[in-house]
């Protein structure tokens, strides 16, 4: 069920979507095998994703749709699967939790905190208040509305009385969860268990792969925007950080000089400086389909069924170089050494497969299913050795007869192997 944060709470926190409307969230009650559940002390709060906008004009355009305005948010029944599935049969670890999906309407991973609106070329105000949106959403969930008369629709949801919270985020929302985890934990001191789960959110701070031809990148739409489209993704994220007055994890912001704090918008920088008391688990593909197209900007030289041997070898070498680079950055950030942490890293060319019913239960790494790996980590002690909960990928095999030369037979080969840049209309 969709809930829009009441105006009094939104105003008290200064919360605004890009268009100035208040933020929202979807809430689904706990379930049990016999019907409605009563496990009201356990919560799964997930920050939704949807890529980013990097300039005032892009954000003004985004303000007209459901990624920038609660006025465009759709009332709908709970349709989410995988980690958020309401069925105890399909999601035994978390179906009995209160499950919440926080609407993403700031275009900046819930990180912006610009005081005044900027105005686009037509004079419309555009707001960058993602950080405040999250604060207002949490306040509504706590059931402690700052309005004189709390909203009846929100009264009693009761996150303030929760005993355990799994804070999760997918894609751009995963970055937001990383940036805000310490703040969320501090706002809920009564919690006996708090853990952080990032889904397809370890975006690399890497420059694109050099292309053999003169073109800087490819784009299948809007040729007039090719100049901005071809800007390397790290440069675009730096522009976002500065435009929105964003901030990353507090430890990262404290550690770097003011001129370098833009680096905190990247997962490796903020993750490396995340408070050690926050158990962190990553679910990611080292061959992530969104990063393939938008960070690395590499594309297959031919269709798999028509590839010459040299093209196959070249494309597989490039893919394996991406896999090794991903693992190198993960190790360098220290994210595989954190007490209570872990990671489920596959070679599947996918993005946020954890919200797919089929992939959540059937994708295996080292013989362990994604769903089982997450559940085991969640139930483990907060200081469990990370090696007990770390699953690392294989590399593609050019000699393999498997589709797409995949070394992991449980990877879904029906997914689109490459996504368009910035994947418009795709749940990034």
Residue 121 in contact with residue 9, Cβ under 8 Å? no
DSSP 8-state code for residue 420: P
Output the CA–CA distances (angstroms, integers) from residue 146 to 5, 128, 141, 154, 398, in the order listed: 11, 22, 12, 12, 60
Total Cβ atoms within 10 A of residue 186: 10
pTM of the predicted protein model: 0.90
Domain ranges in the chain are 2-405
Alpha-carbon span 25 to 40, nearest angstrom: 18
Cite the beta strand spans of 311-412 per DSSP E: 342-346, 364-365, 368-369, 390-391
The answer to whether residues 147 and 8 touch, using CB atoms and an 8 Å cutoff, is: yes
pLDDT (tens place) for every residue of the chain, 428 residues total: 899 999 999 999 999 999 999 999 999 988 876 545 555 789 999 999 999 999 999 999 999 999 999 998 877 666 689 999 999 999 999 999 999 999 999 999 999 999 999 999 999 999 999 999 999 999 999 874 333 344 444 444 589 889 999 999 999 999 999 999 999 999 999 999 999 999 999 999 999 877 554 344 554 444 444 566 678 999 999 999 999 999 999 999 999 999 999 999 999 999 999 998 999 999 999 999 999 989 998 866 565 566 777 877 888 899 999 999 999 999 999 999 999 999 999 999 999 999 999 899 999 999 999 999 999 999 999 999 999 999 999 999 877 777 778 899 999 765 443 333 333 333 33
Taken in order 78, 79, 85, 90, the sign of the CA dihedral is: positive
Q: Determine the longest span between alpha carbons in the chain, in angstroms.
A: 70
């Amino acid at each position: 069920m969709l809930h829009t944060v009441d105006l009094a709470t939104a105003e008290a926190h200064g919360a605004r979507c890009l268009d100035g409307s208040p933020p929202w969230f979807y809430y689904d009650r706990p379930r049990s095998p016999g019907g409605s559940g009563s496990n009201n002390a356990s919560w799964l709060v997930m920050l939704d994703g949807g890529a980013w906008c990097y300039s005032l004009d892009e954000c003004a355009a985004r303000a007209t749709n459901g990624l920038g305005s609660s006025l465009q948010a759709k009332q709908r029944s709970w349709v989410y699967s995988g980690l958020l599935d309401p069925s105890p049969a399909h999601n035994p670890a978390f179906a009995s939790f209160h499950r919440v999906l926080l609407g993403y309407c700031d275009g900046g991973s819930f990180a912006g905190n610009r005081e005044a609106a900027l105005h686009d070329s037509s004079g419309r105000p555009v707001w960058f208040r993602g950080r405040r949106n999250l604060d207002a959403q949490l306040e509504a969930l706590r059931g402690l509305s700052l309005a004189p008369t709390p909203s009846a629709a929100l009264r009693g949801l009761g996150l303030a009385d929760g005993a355990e919270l799994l804070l999760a985020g997918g894609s751009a929302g995963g970055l937001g969860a990383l940036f805000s985890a310490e703040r969320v934990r501090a706002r809920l001191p009564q919690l006996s268990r708090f853990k952080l789960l990032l889904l397809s959110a370890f975006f690399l701070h890497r420059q694109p792969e050099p292309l053999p031809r003169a073109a800087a990148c490819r784009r299948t739409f809007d040729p007039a925007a090719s100049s901005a489209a071809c800007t390397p993704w790290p440069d675009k994220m730096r522009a976002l950080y500065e435009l929105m007055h964003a901030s990353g994890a507090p430890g990262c912001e404290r550690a770097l000089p003011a001129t370098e704090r833009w680096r905190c918008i990247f997962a490796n920088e903020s993750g490396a400086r995340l408070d050690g008391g926050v158990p962190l688990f990553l679910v990611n593909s080292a061959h992530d389909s969104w990063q393939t197209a938008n960070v690395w900007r590499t594309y297959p030289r031919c269709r798999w069924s028509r590839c010459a041997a040299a093209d196959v070898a070249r494309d597989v070498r490039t893919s394996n170089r991406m896999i090794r680079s991903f693992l190198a950055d993960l190790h360098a950030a220290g994210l595989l050494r954190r007490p209570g942490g872990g990671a489920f890293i596959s070679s599947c060319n996918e993005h946020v497969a954890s919200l797919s019913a089929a992939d959540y239960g059937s994708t295996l790494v080292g013989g362990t299913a994604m769903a089982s790996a997450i559940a085991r980590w969640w139930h483990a002690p907060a200081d469990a050795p990370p090696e007990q909960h770390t699953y690392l990928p294989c590399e593609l095999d050019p000699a393999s007869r498997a589709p797409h030369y995949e070394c992991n037979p449980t990877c879904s080969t029906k997914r689109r192997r490459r996504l368009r840049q910035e994947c418009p209309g795709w749940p990034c």
